């Protein structure tokens, strides 16, 4: 199908100060601001969780979070507040540059053909598609030899150095969570760490949600679950907007300065045979304030097949998901996202 493109990035449109929003962004439903409450997700102390002799409460909190919300906050995670602030600040500086500067990293080849990496907004596949109210920068960071540095910002000048350090630190957070997750499933402690040993994929995504005159009509990001093992999010300290769906009800996700949010992904739900949950979440817009999030997506090697861990399967606990190659999983992702459906549901047995 011929690609149809919107002519403006969201940030440029928002900057015009219009009180209306273009029709491509308008959602055809009305429930999306009806929020019950704030999600009671736990805060897990990662330092204590990693101490074998003194981690009782933290393990219980982690288990409860993984089996109900699929979401939790972590504190004492080893990333200095100053580095988190730097990462947020250089991201904000990047988005605040003039359009011409950001377009040097565009995600449109020859101004036309969409590629996931780079700066821009949604891939537009038809003129009836509903767009999200965000611009983003999307960078593959692992395997490191597959980085396309032509779309890695050179300005602000410290962007790459800060990101390099942030990547290493977030990787450490991921690696210190995986053994506890495996133990909760009574798998070998290094079960998940081993899965990540062979050229896994990591993607960094910088989301910029400009202020929006009609939060009642427009999504920052439509409902979805992440196609990852897990996702680490650093969200704006001052502006909420992330919401999670549980038992048919939407909840606000709380934030705390310098905490990180951990969001389990579909591939963890599959490998845990449904014991751990990959939450459906979305972002709503804010009429007064812009919002930024920095997100690290952790996937295995895309050539790998995933399935429920064989150790979890027996006569009483049959496999609940079919085996799937990660690459094939990702191939169907965007279409499902647009339809408001989930790839994982097509694999349920």
Ligand X SMILES: O=C(O)CCC(=O)C(=O)O
List interacting residues with ligand X (CB under 6 A): 205, 207, 221, 226, 233, 235, 242, 281, 283, 293, 295
131 binds, among ligand X, Fe ion, none (CB under 5 to 8 A by kind): none
Distance of closest approach, residue 152 Cβ to Fe ion, in angstroms: 22
285 binds, among Fe ion, ligand X, none (CB under 5 to 8 A by kind): none
Q: Does 266 bind Fe ion (CB under 5 A)?
A: no
Q: By CB under 5 A, what part of segment 207-246 binds Fe ion? A: 226
293 binds, among Fe ion, ligand X, none (CB under 5 to 8 A by kind): ligand X
What single string gives the DSSP state of each residue in 262-291?
Answer: EEE-HHHHHHTTTSS----EEEE--SS--E
Number of residues engaging Fe ion in binding (CB under 5 A): 1
- The Cα–Cα gap between 326 and 301 comes to 8
- The Cα–Cα gap between 138 and 135 comes to 10
CA angle 53, 57, 60 (to 5 degrees): 110
Q: Is 132 left (phi over 0), alpha (psi -120 to 50) or beta?
A: beta
- The Cα–Cα gap between 201 and 299 comes to 5
Distance of closest approach, residue 42 Cβ to ligand X, in angstroms: 18
Cβ burial 48-77 (10 Å sphere, 16+ → b, else e): ebeeeeebeebeebbbebbebbbbbbbeeb
Looking at beta carbons only, is 171 or 226 nearer to ligand X? 226
Distance of closest approach, residue 178 Cβ to ligand X, in angstroms: 20
Looking at beta carbons only, is 122 or 226 nearer to Fe ion? 226
- The Cα–Cα gap between 166 and 172 comes to 10
Looking at beta carbons only, is 233 or 300 nearer to Fe ion? 233
243 binds, among Fe ion, ligand X, none (CB under 5 to 8 A by kind): none
Distance of closest approach, residue 256 Cβ to ligand X, in angstroms: 14
Q: By CB under 5 A, what part of segment 308-347 binds Fe ion? A: none
Phi, psi dihedral angles at 279 (to 5 degrees) = -80, 145
Looking at beta carbons only, is 55 or 201 nearer to Fe ion? 201
User: Applying CB under 5 A, which residues contact Fe ion?
Assistant: 226
């Amino acid at each position: 199908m011929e690609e149809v493109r919107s002519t403006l990035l969201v940030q440029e449109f928002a900057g015009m100060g219009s009180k209306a929003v273009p029709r491509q962004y308008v959602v055809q439903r009305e429930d999306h601001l009806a929020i019950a409450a704030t999600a009671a997700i736990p805060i897990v102390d990662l330092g204590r969780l990693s101490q074998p002799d003194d981690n009782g409460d933290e393990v219980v909190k982690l288990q409860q979070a993984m089996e109900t919300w699929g979401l939790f906050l972590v504190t004492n995670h080893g990333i200095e507040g100053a580095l988190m602030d730097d990462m947020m600040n250089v991201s904000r500086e990047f988005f605040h540059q003039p359009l011409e500067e950001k377009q040097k990293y565009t995600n449109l080849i020859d101004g036309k053909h969409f590629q996931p990496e780079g700066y821009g907004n949604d891939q537009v596949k038809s003129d009836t598609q509903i767009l999200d109210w965000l611009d983003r920068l999307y960078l593959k960071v692992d395997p490191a030899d597959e980085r396309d540095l032509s779309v890695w910002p050179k300005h602000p000048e410290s962007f790459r150095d800060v990101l390099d350090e942030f990547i290493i630190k977030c990787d450490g957070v991921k690696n210190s969570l995986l053994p506890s997750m495996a133990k909760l499933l009574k798998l070998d402690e290094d079960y998940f760490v081993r899965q990540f040993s062979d050229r896994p994929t990591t993607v960094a995504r910088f989301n910029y949600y400009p202020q929006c005159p009609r939060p009642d009509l427009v999504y920052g990001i439509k409902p979805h679950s992440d196609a990852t093992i897990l996702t680490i999010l650093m969200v704006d300290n001052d502006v909420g907007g992330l919401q999670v769906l549980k038992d048919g009800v939407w909840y606000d996700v709380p934030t705390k300065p310098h905490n990180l949010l951990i969001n389990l992904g579909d591939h963890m739900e599959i490998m845990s045979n449904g014991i751990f949950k990959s939450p459906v979440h979305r972002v709503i817009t804010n009429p007064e304030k812009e919002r930024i999030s920095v997100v690290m997506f952790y996937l295995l090697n895309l050539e790998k097949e995933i399935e429920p861990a064989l150790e979890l399967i027996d006569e009483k606990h049959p496999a609940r998901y079919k085996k799937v190659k990660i690459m094939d999983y990702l191939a169907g992702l965007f279409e499902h996202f647009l339809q408001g459906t989930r790839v994982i549901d097509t694999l349920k047995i």
